[in-house]
């Protein structure tokens, strides 16, 4: 039975949105029960699919008036449960907002709707000689709005940075349903950099309805190398040597033997035989510069024990090299019925030590771990393998997965480099941050969303009470009402 508050929101949606934009049927609601992290499932009370910013803002306004929680969802590819619906709340899906409004070559900007697919921005800009740099591996299906929420990275963020470095402006619907402009087409807008706080806030501050992004000039030359090493130590040493030589490659990706085995089984990528590790290294930029860097990278790889080195100079060859790496997550399905994709970060120099510790963890627990990672910036994606039909295997895998995050924290790293905290990792936040740190972050939440209705329950393990906000909704705090918190 929907609550009266929810019915009121549904009535607003019914009035303003086309019939296919409001979903109340239980079976259809269930298709939205999870995002890319499928082991968390919650059926939302209502799904709305607005066609434009006005409709979206009106739904949010109705939620604010009724104190109903809402969760924004782009393409639902997130890997931390950030778009996990709220059982008593509204899921606001941006999949009908897919217009690319402008590609302005002379300004190096594009203006896009939040539901626009990441790769489509690049496709629209390519004829002009430009592209959109952040390239999460889901770029063929993930949305810009979701990228903004998660501050998505990608293989090439070593050189080009993350979503936050490429988003300059946004129209933003606050948790009250007001629309404000954050940032703009020009840099350095006066006032607080609210957009900087919004990017990566995982939908907990509000929803973007239009995004102005930076376009980057397509490089003159791209060269991709696939390098085989005896061990991850050798591959790690080569990576360090490249960085120490003052070279900033566009990407440096590493896979260990188990990950290579999986990729071979899945896509026959034909990586060097018997390699204990491979590196995929990509250099891009001005041709003359790439030429020289390439020679040096080649030398440094050989100096550090590379036994095979292949070079791709055209897009087809490049795609072949990337195929193994890009298929890696799904490919472990070939060698294990179930797996957890972990996402942690360490200082790159701690790589040998941490890999050794992961291998020890695996040895003592009997849980296999395949390692795929962005070696250039120390972002690990250990794939923890298990068979859920074996009793206790899931728990054992979960334990190893958690212990890997502890390793990251011990080495001064982070519990997430790009997948986000979401639902999945909020419990780990206190291991990385003090209560005071988390409390301070939530001051931002209180400023943006004092009712705590925008994607509640994500990121922070313990919500902060925001206190009375002048001129806003009177009555008990929604958390208090729900019996989740008391005000002392």
Partner 1 sequence: MAATTLDRTAREAVASACADVRDSEPADHVGGVVPGLVARPADTDQVAEVLRAAAAHGLTVVPRGRGTKLSWGLPPTSADVLLDVSALDRVVGHAAGDLIVVTQAGTRLADLQQVVGGGGQRLALDETVSGASIGGTLATNASGARRVATGTARDLLIGITVVRADGVVAKAGGRVVKNVAGYDLGKLLIGSFGTLAVITEAVFRLHPVPVASRWVSVPASDPAQAQQVVQAVLHGQAVPSAIEVEWPADGQGAVHVLLEGREDGVEGRAATVRSLLGEAATESSDDPAGGATYPWDDGDTCLKLTFVLSALADVLETARETGLHLRGSAGAGVAYAAVPEGSSVEAAQDVVRRIRETCTRAGGSAVVLDAPASVKATVDPWGPVPALDLMRRVKDQFDADHRLSPGRFVGEI
In the bound complex, what is the minimum distance in angstroms from residue 444's beta carbon to partner 1?
A: 5
Helical spans, DSSP H, in 161-314: 194-198, 232-244, 257-267, 287-303
Binding segment toward partner 1, per CB under 8 A, in 86-94, 101-109, 356-364, 389-397: 101-109
* Residue among 88, 98, 120, 196 that touches partner 1 (CB under 8 A): 196
* DSSP-derived secondary structure letter, 143: B
* Residue among 180, 476, 482, 487 that touches partner 1 (CB under 8 A): 180
**E strands within 155-205?**
167-174, 179-183
Answer yes or no whether residue 108 interacts with partner 1 by CB under 8 A. Answer: yes
Rg (CA), the chain: 23
In the bound complex, what is the minimum distance in angstroms from residue 192's beta carbon to partner 1?
A: 5
Whole-number Å distance between alpha carbons of 172 and 188:
17
Site string for partner 1, 216-235 (x = CB under 8 A): -x-xx---------------
Answer yes or no whether residue 19 interacts with partner 1 by CB under 8 A. Answer: no
Whole-number Å distance between alpha carbons of 22 and 15:
10
Residues in binding contact with partner 1, number by CB under 8 A? 92
Whole-number Å distance between alpha carbons of 114 and 128:
22
Half-sphere exposure of 92 (CA within 13 A, CB side): 38
Q: How far is Cα of residue 186 from the mean position of the Cα atoms in its chain?
A: 26
In the bound complex, what is the minimum distance in angstroms from residue 344's beta carbon to partner 1?
A: 10
> Can you give the three-state secondary structure of 402-462, one letter per residue?
HHHHHHHHHCCCECCCCCCCCCCCHHHHHHHCCHHHHHHHHHHHHHHCCCCCECCCCCCCC
Q: Of residues 22-41, which lie at the interface with partner 1 (CB under 8 A)?
A: none
Q: Of residues 132-151, which lie at the interface with partner 1 (CB under 8 A)?
A: 150-151
Site string for partner 1, 235-264 (x = CB under 8 A): -----x--xx-xxx----------------
In the bound complex, what is the minimum distance in angstroms from residue 342's beta carbon to partner 1?
A: 14
Answer yes or no whether residue 416 interacts with partner 1 by CB under 8 A. Answer: yes
In the bound complex, what is the minimum distance in angstroms from residue 24's beta carbon to partner 1?
A: 33
Cβ pair 92, 72 in contact under 8 A: yes
Answer yes or no whether residue 285 interacts with partner 1 by CB under 8 A. Answer: yes
In the bound complex, what is the minimum distance in angstroms from residue 288's beta carbon to partner 1?
A: 4
Site string for partner 1, 438-477 (x = CB under 8 A): xxxx-xxxxxx----------x------x--x--------
Q: Which residue, 192 or 395, has its beta carbon nearer to partner 1?
A: 192
The separation between the first and the last C-alpha atoms of the chain, rounded to the nearest angstrom, is 33
CB-count burial class (<10 Å; 0-12, 13-18, 19+) for 315 = exposed
If you write DSSP's letter for every residue of 100-137 in order, what string do you get?
A: EEEEEGGGTEEEE-TTSBHHHHHHHHGGGTEE-----T
Q: Which residue, 44 or 382, has its beta carbon nearer to partner 1?
A: 382
Query: Which are the contacts of 131, defined by CB distance < 8 A and separation ≥ 6?
Result: 121, 122, 125, 215, 216, 218
* Residue among 223, 374, 458, 477 that touches partner 1 (CB under 8 A): 374
Answer yes or no whether residue 430 interacts with partner 1 by CB under 8 A. Answer: no
In the bound complex, what is the minimum distance in angstroms from residue 281's beta carbon to partner 1?
A: 16
Answer yes or no whether residue 311 interacts with partner 1 by CB under 8 A. Answer: no
Q: Which residue, 45 or 453, has its beta carbon nearer to partner 1?
A: 453
Binding segment toward partner 1, per CB under 8 A, in 32-40, 86-94, 176-184, 252-260: 176-184
Whole-number Å distance between alpha carbons of 299 and 418:
31
CB-count burial class (<10 Å; 0-12, 13-18, 19+) for 22 = buried
* Residue among 98, 104, 334, 399 that touches partner 1 (CB under 8 A): 104
Answer yes or no whether residue 174 interacts with partner 1 by CB under 8 A. Answer: yes
208: nearest Cα among 148, 122, 136:
148
* Residue among 366, 436, 475, 483 that touches partner 1 (CB under 8 A): 436
């Amino acid at each position: 039975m929907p609550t009266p508050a929810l019915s009121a929101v549904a009535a607003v949606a019914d009035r303003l949105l086309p019939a296919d934009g409001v979903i109340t049927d239980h079976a259809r609601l269930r298709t939205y029960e999870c995002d890319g992290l499928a082991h968390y499932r919650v059926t939302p009370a209502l799904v709305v699919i607005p066609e434009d910013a006005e409709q979206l803002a009106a739904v949010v306004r109705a939620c604010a008036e009724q104190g109903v929680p809402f969760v924004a969802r782009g393409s639902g590819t997130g890997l931390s449960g950030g778009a996990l619906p709220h059982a008593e709340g509204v899921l606001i899906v941006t999949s009908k907002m897919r217009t690319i409004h402008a590609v302005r070559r002379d300004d190096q900007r594009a203006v896009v709707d939040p539901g626009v697919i990441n790769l489509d921005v690049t496709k629209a800009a390519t004829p002009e000689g430009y592209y959109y740099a952040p390239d999460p591996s889901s770029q063929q299906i993930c949305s810009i709005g979701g990228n903004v929420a998660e501050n998505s990275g990608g293989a090439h963020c070593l050189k080009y940075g993350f979503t936050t470095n490429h988003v300059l402006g946004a129209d933003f619907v606050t948790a009250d349903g007001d629309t404000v402009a954050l940032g703009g087409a020009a840099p350095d807008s006066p006032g607080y950099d609210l957009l900087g706080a919004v990017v990566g806030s995982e939908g907990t501050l509000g929803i973007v309805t239009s995004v102005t992004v930076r376009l980057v000039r397509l490089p003159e030359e791209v060269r991709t190398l696939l390098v085989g090493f005896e061990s991850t130590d050798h591959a790690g040493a080569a990576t360090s040597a490249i960085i120490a030589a003052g070279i900033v490659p566009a990407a440096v990706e590493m896979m260990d033997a188990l990950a290579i085995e999986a990729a071979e089984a899945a896509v026959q990528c034909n990586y060097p035989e018997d390699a204990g590790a491979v590196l995929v290294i990509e250099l891009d930029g001005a041709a003359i510069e790439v030429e020289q860097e390439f020679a040096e990278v080649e030398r440094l790889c050989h100096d550090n024990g590379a036994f095979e080195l292949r070079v791709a100079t055209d897009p087809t060859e490049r795609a072949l090299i990337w195929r193994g790496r890009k298929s890696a997550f799904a490919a472990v399905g070939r060698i294990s019925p179930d797996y957890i994709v972990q996402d942690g970060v360490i200082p790159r120099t701690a790589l040998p030590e941490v890999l050794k510790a992961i291998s020890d963890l695996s040895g003592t627990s009997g849980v296999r771990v395949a390692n795929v990672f962005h070696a250039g910036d120390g972002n690990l994606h250990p794939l923890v393998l298990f068979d859920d039909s074996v009793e206790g295997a899931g728990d054992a895998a979960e334990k190893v997965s958690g212990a890997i995050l502890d390793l990251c924290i011990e080495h001064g790293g982070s519990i997430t480099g790009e997948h986000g905290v979401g639902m999945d990792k909020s419990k780990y936040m206190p291991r990385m941050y003090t209560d005071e740190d988390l409390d301070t972050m939530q001051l931002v939440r209180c400023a943006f969303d004092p009712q705590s209705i925008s994607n509640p329950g994500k990121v922070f393990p313990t919500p902060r009470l925001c206190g009375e906000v002048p001129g806003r909704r009177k009555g008990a705090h929604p958390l208090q009402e729900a019996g989740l918190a008391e005000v002392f």
